[in-house]
Structure 1
Amino acid sequence: MNENPEIGRSIQTGPLATNYHDTGPAPEPVDGEGGTVLLLHGSGPGVSAWANWRNQLPPFARHHRVVAPDLAGFGFTEVPEGQEYSREVWLRQIVDLLDALEIERVHVVGNSFGGSMALALAIHHPERIDKLVLMGSVGIPFELTAGLDAVWGYEPSEAAMGRLMRETFAYDSSLITDELVASRYAASTRPGTMEAFASMFPAPRQRWVEAMAHPEEAIRGITAPTLLVHGRDDQVIPLSTSLTMLELIDDSRLHVFGRCGHWTQIEHGAAFTELVLDFLAE
């Protein structure tokens, strides 16, 4: 029996063997309460669906079926040799996963890079989306921050991971234990992981901000009820991105957490979970 909590189930999605977590009650039709929640992780080094969402999986699963995949190049999803990475590749993987699991519609929660992919699903496959939650989301053009440059430019060492987690991701560095740094560093150096990560966002990195952005008119066309969540003190993705999306998406609302960096789901985990569950239950 596998004892690594990051490894869930595996399913074939096109050329990829997607590692994903699937938990919670059988969903009701996605017209009201219940339904399936799709969780899309961020793009930090060593990230996986479980690392990103471990605190949300149990409480979300009390109300919803929850599906949380490792996107290609991250976690324990297996990719063919020479795999290239792009928004199109990740979107195809997400749609293939929903098809393979015979899930017609989802609430989708996207964190940072995962927010851009949640937007992509809402824009290109609106019939698959019920409600949309975007947390510290990429998806519109902005000037590359020093924080995001540091995240995407990470070169493996435990010291570098510690600086990234304590000085860039979190507002309150006391939340970041040595054990957490060590485990995330170990995850970032698994065979193949760093090679995949280094190939995704090479310098100059402003072009990858643009590549993960969506046309303004496409975002304006989103009709799904949308909850935007952002840390006021986010050094990776500026708060201005969520303020802009609040203007662009007609049926949207924004919740800003003070004394919070880029890891809302960790720094304000209980409040974030309650906020999202209340929104999905409306």
Structure 2
Amino acid sequence: MNSQQNSEVGQSLHTGSILTNYHDVGAGEPVLLLHGSGPGVSAWANWRLSIQGLKDQYRLLAPDLAGFGFTQVPDGIVYSRELWLQQIVDFLDALGVEQVNVIGNSFGGSMALALAIHHPQRVKRLILMGSVGVPFELTPGLDAVWGYTPSEDNMRAIMRIFAYDQNLVGDDLVRMRFEASRRAGVHEAYSAMFPFPRQRWVDAMAHDEAAIRGIRHKTLLVHGRDDKVIPLATSLTLQQWIDDSQLHIFGRCGHWTQIEHARDFGQLVRHFLAAE
């Protein structure tokens, strides 16, 4: 295991039949970080800059959801929104955390919405970044991400879809994510989650409009104007449907708000969580 993989491995605890790998960093009010669904992703890969930027004020809890990162799942597991939601609730229960602020990125945004809808008492404030969770037409970018097959060239192409600033897509990042995506069992799990035709998985991760309109939590929506994976229109819809919500749009930004605008994203999060 190389040093990068070592940094992605945190602590582990049982969440039902799943052995969840997670990071528990910092002290203060707890914040749950739910990662996206890119190939080779892990909680640490997705949130490492946010964790470093927020750990002095908050307790950051970042689990690898089932099928991702270094979380271990039983043979024959069937991936679904219900499975991931139960894992999240079991994770909070195992840590004895009654209520959290939640930050969900992309696929993780749909799971943050699920927690707010089905377990509203567990959520204090909600932050959704480039979030899935409402109906939209599958983008070529998301189709490519979910259809990834392991190779360095394919990973480079995926990383270029994610980033507005192409200078971020260096050889080291590509190689790191490629190696993560081809670890034993990783691609098998990934390809089992979102097989073709993929519009159905966009639809499966969408929540009922009435359920989203019923959310009463103070909500911050964040989106990159130039996002090629999840269209800005999804956050515009969420801003209409969630009554107590605000939307911040970053220009010159793709699907990696927390990486491309790490400092500003951190400031936005701190201000939102601290506001009365």
The TM-score bracket by the shorter chain reads over 0.9
Show structure 2 runs of 5+ residues with no match. Answer: none
State which of 11, 14, 27 in structure 1 corresponds to 2:13. 11
Residues 187-243 of structure 1: CA deviation (Å, up to 9, x unaligned): 000001000000000000000000000000000000010000000000000000000
Tell me, in whole angstroms, the C-alpha distance in 2 between the residues paired with 1:277 and 1:68: 17
Q: Does 1:118 align with 2:112?
A: yes
Tell me, in whole angstroms, the C-alpha distance in 2 between the residues paired with 1:58 and 1:200: 30
Tell me, in whole angstroms, the C-alpha distance in 2 between the residues paired with 1:175 and 1:257: 17
Show structure 1 runs of 5+ residues with no match. Answer: 28-34
TM-score by length of 1: 0.96
Q: How does 1:1-282 map to 2 (within 5 A)?
A: 4-25=6-27, 27=28, 35-166=29-160, 168-282=161-275
Q: Is the 8 A contact 2:53 2:263 kept in 1?
A: no
Residue-pair matches, total? 273
Letter in 2 for 1:41: H
* Structure 1, 54-63 or 243-252: larger mean CA deviation: 54-63
Tell me, in whole angstroms, the C-alpha distance in 2 between the residues paired with 1:86 and 1:60: 30
Tell me, in whole angstroms, the C-alpha distance in 1 between the residues paired with 2:246 and 2:228: 22
Tell me, in whole angstroms, the C-alpha distance in 2 between the residues paired with 1:228 and 1:72: 25
Residues 43-101 of structure 1: CA deviation (Å, up to 9, x unaligned): 00000000000001122111111100000000000000111100000000000000000
SS of 1:56's partner is: helix
Tell me, in whole angstroms, the C-alpha distance in 1 between the residues paired with 2:252 and 2:183: 33
Residues 149-203 of structure 1: CA deviation (Å, up to 9, x unaligned): 000000110000001102x100111111100000000000000100000000000
Tell me, in whole angstroms, the C-alpha distance in 2 between the residues paired with 1:65 and 1:164: 31
Tell me, in whole angstroms, the C-alpha distance in 2 between the residues paired with 1:246 and 1:56: 23
Tell me, in whole angstroms, the C-alpha distance in 1 between the residues paired with 2:31 and 2:262: 17
SS of 2:7's partner is: coil
Letter in 2 for 1:258: G
Tell me, in whole angstroms, the C-alpha distance in 2 between the residues paired with 1:15 and 1:118: 21
Q: Where in structure 1 do 4 or more consecutive aligned residues deviate above 3 Å?
A: none
